[in-house]
Structure 1
Amino acid sequence: MTQPPPTPPEHPGQPAPPPPGQYPQQPQPTAAPQYPQPTAAPQYPQPPAAAYPHPQHQPQQPAPGAPSFQQAAPGYPRAPQPPGYPTAPHHPGAPAHPYAQAPASLTVPPQYPQAPVPPAAPSPAAPSAPAAPQAPAGADDADHPHHISTGPRRVHLSAHQRRTDATTVGSLLLHLPNFLCSLFVVVLISLLFGDFGPVLILAWLATGALVFHRPTERALARRLLRLRYPTPQERAKLEPVWQEVTTRAGVDGRVYELWVEDSDHLNAVAAAGHIVGVTRFAMTDLPNGELAAVMAHELGHHVGGHAWSGLLGHWYALPGRLAWRVLRVMTTVMFKVSQAFSCFGVLFFGLVVGGIALATISSLYGLPLLVLGVPYALAAVGRRSELRADQHAAALGFAPMLASVLEKMHHEEQQATAALAARNGGAPPEESTLGKLLASHPDYYTRLHHLQPYLRPQRH
């Protein structure tokens, strides 16, 4: 018979071992001690909210002695507390937390309603002073409608700086009779020099090259045209405008020389091959846009060849014109002498002069008769060249400025006509038909008519 295992001794406070075949049971956890629940924070009466212009931003004013952490920033709503967030217990008699009192700078004083301010009585409106009339824009004013910008920019030079248009060719052809007459006079004079005569003829023909000689051009500008070099102040005004004109035309402006004429009239001149002259009035009294239009017109004479062809024809016609003046003087003297011999002397004078004229016409195939009509033809070509120069200026964008300049020139002509009529007793002077045919410039209405295509707005 087997003996049961001995039972271990029991110790006080220790659980008894489980019987065989049974697992030990886990000890049951003891219940957590129950603490007293914290009492709710005392609720303080809230003062009435101050009146703000926006009711959604009405801050609450704290009661005296209340902790400032319950007060939100002024003008902003208090951020809501998350649900279930534990509240710090507050034990009676415990000292106040160090951050319970907010600084005095964060407390918002109570806002009291302001007393309504009575509206001020409307003061009688003071009578407004009349606006001072604006002075018209001066010639140098940047607000002038004909003021242009003359700043530096890139220059594109044209491949052909000069050309020979139809008016230039016509001018050279019309000067041919004058040239032949001058050649005839030079040949007659060369007969007086014997063997040295042909050299004299060749020398006279070579003098035409002096038209393009710079020192000769300057001498002609001073002596014949009464021009002078501009002062530094005048050059400072002329050169930017000239640079703008030549830039638009694609022309090298350094080839030409700027000169000034001391005149109080509106005028300009293109002479020889490189002279561009303007009057003092045009330089000082015109806006730079209108001055540019005047210079562009004169540049058109140079580019088209009108200036050098006219001067060359005038140069080669000088011997013939001098001979014609001498012949007129001699004829006048002979006529006065013949009058001393009564009617027989006058008849004899007429026969002599008529025989010479008939012999001249028959020997020169009527060339002298053609010379009589040359001045009218040259005047017509000159008027055409003026219209071509106007077209050149208008094509560069100066059509409105050029029209204004033409209007001013027309006004000057009207004033001169009125002054002449006043001296004649009120009767306006009448221009003859021959005077109109010999005019070197077209009238104002003709020039303005040819500018109309450039003055109309472009249609796209």
Structure 2
Amino acid sequence: MCIRARYPHAPAPPPYPQAAAPSYPEAAVPPPPGSPLHPHHISTDRGRVHVAGQQRRTDAAAFGNLLLHLPNFLCSLVVVTLVSLLLGDFGILLILAWLASGALVFHRPTESALARHLLRLRYPTPQERATLEPVWREVTARAGVDGRTYELWVEDSDSLNAVAAAGHIVGVTRFAMNNLPNGELAAVMAHELGHHVGGHAWSGLLGYWYALPGRIAWRLLRAVTGFLFQVSRAFSCIGVAFFGVCVGGLALATITSLYGLPLLVLGMPYALAAVGRRSELRADRHAAALGFAPMLAAVLDKLHQQEQLRTAALTAAGQGAPVPETAASRLLSSHPDYHTRLHHLQQYLQPTR
């Protein structure tokens, strides 16, 4: 789960007037991000911290993610069962080992390997830790969460992004750490904490892990089918027709024997993307409820500007108009668009009376 959208969206007119930029009458330029004069600078000098009794929960988005991964899990179980038949009496051990492997999501050494090799994260240096830990303590103190439960990581990237993964990983990019005011950095980290306390991070990784055997089998099947199709073309139309009848019959037999389960799998990417968008809005709400709504809105605006600049750069390089966004790409987007996220923050941005 990350704060940045994976699929850039074309800019659209906002449904409400944009907030005016803060003025700085005593200086010609805004104070630097680390300055206490910056409007989004927060104090991290906190004394006693109250830790809530409930540290984690499984909210509707996490539960929906697990439920939607059930067809993928069943397909993977079929694949693992078929492979286990090759092992004879030891096949049951393979199935049990695969079912138990989901516990690795919360295994700290496995998480560290995941952070390093898959997410390309690293441990922060002492100087970076001195920057991150006070902000993290403030975020977790407001949430009533024991911050020592989680591990802070850094990604060597010049983009504005952050990630929550597995059971304990919270990562931020070097750009976010060095260029955001500490209040905006806190908003980013509070968003990622929202993914953890809501169960989004572990449920997403667990669903992905148990769907992996089915994904691998599907890719192998596509590769073999593509190869056989190329072979059938050598026998002209008759070979292609015979190939189509064989593949169609096999597909129909599979769908019938599995009670239509493969048809559900075809629609899973769209349903999972919808749940992903909902989890992002819930994480935004978590950060806003902790008092970081103005800072989070500023971060979203910076992300939106980065996407616009990236689109403009790609357009200039290609010397043409960008490819318009399709309805399918919007449905497959794992993050809501900028205006949707900002609209859901409005209730937290209204001035108190």
Query: Shared fold by TM > 0.5?
Result: yes
Task: Identify the residue that residue 69 of structure 2 maps to in structure 1.
Answer: 175
Amino acid at match of 2:308: Q
Q: Specify which of 184, 209, 234 is matched with residue 340 of structure 1.
A: 234
- Paired residues in the alignment total 329
Task: Identify the residue that residue 10 of structure 2 maps to in structure 1.
Answer: none
Q: Specify which of 369, 377, 380 is matched with residue 274 of structure 2.
A: 380
Answering whether residue 94 of structure 2 is matched by residue 210 of structure 1, we say no
Task: Identify the residue that residue 240 of structure 1 maps to in structure 2.
Answer: 134
Q: Specify which of 56, 77, 91 is matched with residue 197 of structure 1.
A: 91
CA distance in 1 between partners of 2:48 and 2:80 (Å): 51
Task: Identify the residue that residue 326 of structure 1 maps to in structure 2.
Answer: 220
1:212–1:273 contact (8 Å) kept in structure 2: yes
Task: Identify the residue that residue 317 of structure 1 maps to in structure 2.
Answer: 211
Amino acid at match of 1:400: P
1:421–1:429 contact (8 Å) kept in structure 2: no
Report percent identity of matched pairs.
76
CA distance in 2 between partners of 1:247 and 1:200 (Å): 44
Answering whether residue 252 of structure 2 is matched by residue 353 of structure 1, we say no
Question: CA 1:358–1:132 in structure 2 vs 1: closer, same or farther (change >3 Å)?
Answer: closer
Amino acid at match of 1:231: T
Query: 2:55 is paired with a residue of what secondary structure?
Result: coil
Query: 2:122 is paired with a residue of what secondary structure?
Result: coil
CA distance in 2 between partners of 1:190 and 1:286 (Å): 51
Query: 1:180 is paired with a residue of what secondary structure?
Result: helix
Amino acid at match of 1:260: V
Task: Identify the residue that residue 6 of structure 2 maps to in structure 1.
Answer: none
CA distance in 1 between partners of 2:340 and 2:271 (Å): 18
Q: Deviations over 1:394-435 (max 9, x none)?
A: 000000000000000000110111112123323122111111
CA distance in 1 between partners of 2:321 and 2:285 (Å): 36
Q: Deviations over 1:73-120 (max 9, x none)?
A: xxxxxxxxxxxxxxxxxxxxxxxxxxxxxxxxxxxxxxxxxxxxxxxx
Q: Specify which of 308, 313, 317 is matched with residue 414 of structure 1.
A: 308
Task: Identify the residue that residue 299 of structure 2 maps to in structure 1.
Answer: 405
Cα offset, 1:345, TM superposition: 1.0
Task: Identify the residue that residue 47 of structure 2 maps to in structure 1.
Answer: 153
Cα offset, 1:366, TM superposition: 0.6
- Where does the alignment leave 5 or more consecutive residues of structure 2 unmatched? 1-24
Amino acid at match of 1:188: L
Answering whether residue 340 of structure 2 is matched by residue 432 of structure 1, we say no
Matches within 5 A, 1:113-192: 134-192=28-86
Higher relative contact order, chain-length normalized (CA < 8 Å, sep 6+): 2
- Where does the alignment leave 5 or more consecutive residues of structure 1 unmatched? 1-130
Q: Deviations over 1:265-316 (max 9, x none)?
A: 0000000000000000000000000000000000000000000000000010
Query: 1:135 is paired with a residue of what secondary structure?
Result: coil
Q: Specify which of 121, 135, 146 is matched with residue 252 of structure 1.
A: 146
Q: Deviations over 1:13-49 (max 9, x none)?
A: xxxxxxxxxxxxxxxxxxxxxxxxxxxxxxxxxxxxx
TM (norm. structure 2) is: 0.92
1:270–1:276 contact (8 Å) kept in structure 2: yes
CA distance in 1 between partners of 2:101 and 2:207 (Å): 12
Cα offset, 1:152, TM superposition: 2.9
Cα offset, 1:178, TM superposition: 0.4
Query: 1:317 is paired with a residue of what secondary structure?
Result: helix
CA distance in 2 between partners of 1:235 and 1:317 (Å): 36
Amino acid at match of 1:299: L
TM (norm. structure 1) is: 0.71
Answering whether residue 156 of structure 2 is matched by residue 273 of structure 1, we say no
Cα offset, 1:133, TM superposition: 5.3
Query: 1:401 is paired with a residue of what secondary structure?
Result: helix
Query: 2:152 is paired with a residue of what secondary structure?
Result: strand
Q: Deviations over 1:325-374 (max 9, x none)?
A: 10111111111111111111111110111011000011111100000000
Task: Identify the residue that residue 284 of structure 1 maps to in structure 2.
Answer: 178
Amino acid at match of 2:257: S
Task: Identify the residue that residue 346 of structure 2 maps to in structure 1.
Answer: 452
Q: Specify which of 262, 282, 305 is matched with residue 368 of structure 1.
A: 262
Answering whether residue 289 of structure 2 is matched by residue 395 of structure 1, we say yes
CA distance in 2 between partners of 1:430 and 1:251 (Å): 43
CA distance in 2 between partners of 1:226 and 1:186 (Å): 29
Task: Identify the residue that residue 200 of structure 2 maps to in structure 1.
Answer: 306
1:165–1:305 contact (8 Å) kept in structure 2: yes
Of stretches 326-335 and 285-294 in structure 1, the one that deviates more from structure 2 is 326-335
Of stretches 179-188 and 329-338 in structure 1, the one that deviates more from structure 2 is 329-338
Answering whether residue 115 of structure 2 is matched by residue 221 of structure 1, we say yes
Q: Which structure: larger Rg?
A: 1
1:417–1:429 contact (8 Å) kept in structure 2: no
Query: 1:259 is paired with a residue of what secondary structure?
Result: strand
Q: Which structure has the highest helix share of the two?
A: 2
CA distance in 2 between partners of 1:269 and 1:322 (Å): 25
1:257–1:276 contact (8 Å) kept in structure 2: yes
Of stretches 191-200 and 420-429 in structure 1, the one that deviates more from structure 2 is 420-429
Q: Deviations over 1:42-65 (max 9, x none)?
A: xxxxxxxxxxxxxxxxxxxxxxxx
